[in-house]
A and B are shown apart, each in its own frame.
Chain A
Amino acid sequence: MAEQYKSLHPVKYYRDYLSHNIRPDGRVFDTFRPVILNTGSIDTADGSALSKLGQTTVVCGIKAELCKPKAESPNKGFVVPNLDLPPLCSPKFRPGPPSDQAQVLSQLINDIIENSQCIDLTDLCIFPDKLAWCLYIDFICLDFDGSVVDACIIALVGALKTVKLPFVDYDAALDNIQVNLENTRPLPVHSIPVSTTFAIFDDKIILADPTVEEENLCTGIIVIVLKDDELCCVHKPGGSPLSSDELLGCIEKSKKKVPLMRDLLKTALQDVG
């Protein structure tokens, strides 16, 4: 009976639950779903991680290639993040070029990487004006169940921490490149961004870490990214208006997630050694 009620009156179904201060999946408004992180399981990539946020699953793989730095920034490498929302992960997506949603999320992730300064592009320079690393960071969503950006950022940090770049010997006079695979170095990761998604339901109730159903029914989304104690992204693209106190309340709530994520990363990376 509940199933039919849910599909016929989804909003009412949710309201009934929320009026009792609980969500249909048993969480209260500001609890997050359990997180799983698995790192370094794909050895064709130079760094990889898989994160699960409840059902939402994202795999992140980093491949490093060599290139020439831009003339205007000769001592900087490149970071090229792209999020793919393949038709595999949800019936909402069709095969073909990336949807608007995938493009918006790719850009948001790019902004988060840039703003949090977790990768210093000068670390990627091998020889100024001649040779630099280009990190292709590809995110693939395997299961689309809401809060994809959060899952991407967890996978990103996990994958970055496992990146090992081989040592490159560059002879500028002869333009000769010699790569030494035995001698590798880890990529310095300067900060750990932690992203939290909130959904605004019925213009007033704020749900942390929404599932895809909640995202579809809600009237607004907020993404907040913290690094250590600083904020590096408060993204609220339209939707129900909030008072500044409510917005600050969300920031406060997202702060709770930072120590949790730090512990998670620690445990996940210990396994790798």
Chain B
Amino acid sequence: MPIDHKRINGPEDTLPYQLFTKLNRKSLEQKYKELVQDGKRHDSRAPLEHRKIFMKTGVVSQAKGSAYIEVEKTKVMVSVFDPREIPNRQDYSLKGEIYCEFKFAPFSCEKRRLHQLDAEEKQYSQIMKKALEATVCRHEFPNFQVDIYALVLHNDGSALSAAITAAGLALSHAGVPMYDLITSATLGIQKDTILIDPTTIEERICRTPFWKEKEDNEHGLVVLSMLHTHNQVAQFYQSGSISLDKLPHLIETLEKACADTIPVIQQCLVKHVIKTIKKSSNVIEV
């Protein structure tokens, strides 16, 4: 690890202790079989069942808008700041810009993350940006930039979807003009097994190409974000290899999962509105 003069540095080489545990010698086939047993996953969900979602707005007092999302163990915070002028910008851009930063906390994953953004985080930032650019009315603030920061406190799979969903909520909390509410869902696939909202363990299995020699080597992750009322896809990301025939079915499944999340966001926003009205009416009474 290179020495960072702006941080307190530890010893040069440190190794995670998990490397030295008694190795999990299960074969890939065994792992695959254990993915779904008796129609239930390891956390006793059905394959197409999403985990419960909890969301809250207004968690960062200093930010214009903020949201916290908890998908069981996965916890993500997002904050949004006022549109600000783009520094060192010569030309005039008709559309406002969106700046996204997606970061894993150092302790959020099994392996310690470094402080600098790594390739994965940069990629996720880009995906988030693409998803949100489709949602925000960017022509409303030409030549300005909206900053959106997402921080994963605890990663137990599907962190990117959680971040996009929370970012949508945070943007509406901040009062940034938007076309629609955005929700996102992740799906993992391995051979014939399709899992909605995979956990870290499931994500890892879905990422590995198991049967290289066979033809039906289908595996991978799909992330889809939807604009609710317009019923439009805002962003689509897929890794791994999935056959073209299967894709429409997967997208349909994801669309449904996205639609299921909408009431949670709506409730959350209604709660916020009621709270604000109560607060302002209190002031008038006084």
Contact = CB atoms under 8 A, between A and B. Distances in A.
A–B touch (CB < 8 A): the answer is: yes
B17 A168 contact: yes
A87 B63 CA distance: 10
A88 interface: yes
B210 to A, nearest CB: 25
A115 interface: no
A107 B8 contact: yes
Interface in B26-79: 59-63, 73, 75, 77-79
Interface in A44-89: 44-45, 48, 55, 57, 59, 61-68, 70, 78, 80-82, 84, 86-89
A70 B103 CA distance: 32
B141 interface: no
B27 to A, nearest CB: 21
B21 A181 contact: yes
> Number of contact residues on B: which range applies?
35 or more
B6 A67 contact: no
Interface in A166-210: 166, 168, 177-181
A265 interface: no
Contacts of B105: 59, 61, 138, 140
B11 A70 contact: yes
A104 B103 CA distance: 23
A3 to B, nearest CB: 10
A97 B6 CA distance: 7
A110 interface: yes
Interface stretch (B106-114, B179-187, B238-246, B260-268): B106-114
Given A66-B17, A67-B11, A82-B7, A140 B61 contact: no
A63 B115 contact: no
A80 B13 contact: no
A163 B4 CA distance: 26
Interface in B138-197: 147, 149-151, 153-156
A131 B176 CA distance: 53
Contact of A82 (B8, B73, B156): B8
A90 interface: yes
Contacts of B281: none
A134 interface: yes
B13 A42 contact: no
A134 B21 contact: no
B92 interface: no
A80 B11 CA distance: 9
A88 B79 contact: yes
Contact of B60 (A84, A89, A97): A89
Nearest to B283: A2
Given A59-B153, A78-B11, A181-B21, A142 B60 contact: yes
B133 interface: no
B14 A134 contact: yes
B4 to A, nearest CB: 8
Contacts of B15: 65-67
A82 B20 contact: no
B6 A89 contact: no
A229 interface: no
A150 interface: no
Contact of B151 (A48, A142, A180): A142
B112 A91 contact: no
A212 interface: yes
A103 B7 CA distance: 7
B103 A86 contact: yes
B67 to A, nearest CB: 11
B77 to A, nearest CB: 6
Contacts of B60: 57, 88-89, 142-143
16 contacts: A48-B107, A61-B105, A67-B11, A81-B8, A82-B115, A87-B101, A88-B77, A88-B151, A89-B79, A136-B106, A136-B112, A140-B105, A140-B151, A142-B59, A178-B20, A179-B18
Q: Lowest 6 A-B CB distances belong to which pairs?
A: A61-B107, A45-B107, A80-B10, A65-B14, A88-B149, A55-B61
